[in-house]
Structure 1
Amino acid sequence: MATSSRRIGDEPAFVLHRYDWSESSLILEVFSRHHGRIALVAKGAKKPSSNFRPVLLPLQPLRVAFGGDAEIRTLKSAEWVGGQVMPTGDALLAGYHLNELLLRLLPRDDAHPRLFDSYAAAVRVLASGQGEALEPALRAFELLLLREAGFLPSLDAQTSTLASLQAAGRYSLVPEGGLVETSDPDRAALTGERWLALQEALDDPAPFEAVLHAAAQAPELKPQLRHLLHYHCGVSALRTRQLVLELQAL
């Protein structure tokens, strides 16, 4: 029997996106630990009396049950796990950024339990109110997502030649070339030492925490990952970034 035809219960999950399905129901895009990104219909979720109404919020840890054998399965129950508050301000926008990346880069019904754990850890950082950890948390999750999706080359060698990195050399991560040496002082780049530290962190048994620490030492990583993400998402700018720019212009 296919997994989708069974009732699944007590599944760790986060709501990534929700939109109207009817006057009273919602379609949810959900990231679950053991079943990956899935689509669920929450029948009656918009009714004032619905138990779903106060629970189906983004960036909140849930336990859900669902069933059915169609592409869009039926949500049976959802329970808020608790333990953290909703991020606000810049942290909330950062959370929407993570959700958009998952929606664009992960296919449905493809389990990524390690990435789910990293996402949950990133959301905890966003909800903690530690402003100085916001950017490192974003870079850490972006790196882990790119690796999990198969879009991140090894960071301990030049991609095209497999030549070893020199600690003091400067290398850029580019969409079509991977990790390449550069002598251009105006080009965003990291030293070989920084790239090697990031690769070591990615290989750590607790990769999110390790990459978070390594990314905090590498602010030049941001523009390089932005270009790589735009390339693989097939866009010139992500919607959440456009929203940030519009809010800054007000």
Structure 2
Amino acid sequence: MAAVLKRISDEPAYVLHRYDWSESSLILEVFTRHQGRIALVAKGAKKPSSSFRPVLLPLQAIQVAYGGDADIRTLKSAEWVGGHVMPTGDALLSGYYLNELLLKLLAREDPHPQLFDAYAATVRVMATEPGELLQASLRVFELLLLREIGLLPSLNCQTLTMADLDETRDYCLVPEGGLRLAHRDDRHALNGAQWLSLQNALDGITPFTDTLRLSLDMLTPLRTQLRTLLNYHCGVGTLKTRQMMIDIQSL
């Protein structure tokens, strides 16, 4: 009996990465709202006459239709849905950083619609709000990503003992121990009241917006602790896009 080809239409998506496949086609890694991260082949996408060429760009909201039952599905159509222009400069590098995180940490075909919405919100900030607000949006996305894939411990108690947090004492988020009391040499700790406020914001009705406001006041400690945690779970010392940012800043 012939296999039934699965057809998906009008699916909100973003292109995370693209690879050459043959002289005229591309393999795409795509983050979709309802299907998760998927691989698509865009046949003929490299041809000058292809309608895919101006659409299959990173950090641009699109709608796709695709079909097939193999690991790599076949892209049938892709349409730009409008909105912001592509980020540039540091914001563009930040977008590539988000894409690298999703490629390393998201399993294929594992839907995360709320994370997709957070990604879309972060990309909008990249295109319109440089500076501290952009950095805060990255920290919020990192928190939501870790929570969605089950790698963020509860931020309202100590992970190993389940003891309540003391709002006046400092705590650190570490890869193998979760949230624990800060040691003397922990330079980038947050106090218990801050961790509790982050947990409440993440649990709220609008977690991205609520957590964004809070993170503006704790950018440096959050960046340091989340970077260590993400590098640990990605299995790398430094992510490629992060190293690229460091290299550019040193020139």
- TM-score bracket, normalised by the shorter chain, equals over 0.9
Aligned length: 248
Name the CA distance, whole Å, in 2 between partners of 1:248 and 1:135. Answer: 16
Unaligned runs of 5+ in 2: none
Match for 2:225: what amino acid? Q
TM-score by length of 1: 0.97
Query: 1:91 maps to which residue?
Result: 91
Query: 1:141 maps to which residue?
Result: 141
Query: 2:241 maps to which residue?
Result: 240
Give deviations 1:29-61, integer Å, cap 9, x for gaps: 000000000000000000000000000000000
Name the CA distance, whole Å, in 1 between partners of 2:24 and 2:31. Answer: 23
The yes-or-no answer on 1:102 pairing with 2:102 is yes
Structure 1 residues 169-184: aligned runs within 5 Å? 169-184=169-184
Give deviations 1:53-78, integer Å, cap 9, x for gaps: 00000000000000001000000000
Structure 1 residues 45-194: aligned runs within 5 Å? 45-184=45-184, 186-194=186-194
Superposed displacement of residue 185, structure 1:
5.3
Secondary structure at the aligned position of 1:74 is classed as strand
Name the CA distance, whole Å, in 2 between partners of 1:100 and 1:130. Answer: 20
The yes-or-no answer on 1:201 pairing with 2:214 is no
TM-score by length of 2: 0.96
Give deviations 1:117-157, integer Å, cap 9, x for gaps: 11001101101133231110000000000000110000000
Contact (CA 8 Å) 1:87, 1:129: kept in 2 or not?
no
Contact (CA 8 Å) 1:153, 1:178: kept in 2 or not?
yes
Unaligned runs of 5+ in 1: none
Contact (CA 8 Å) 2:65, 2:78: kept in 1 or not?
yes
- Aligned CA-pair RMSD: 1.3
Secondary structure at the aligned position of 2:37 is classed as strand
Query: 2:8 maps to which residue?
Result: 8
Identity %: 66
The yes-or-no answer on 1:22 pairing with 2:13 is no
Name the CA distance, whole Å, in 1 between partners of 2:211 and 2:5. Answer: 38
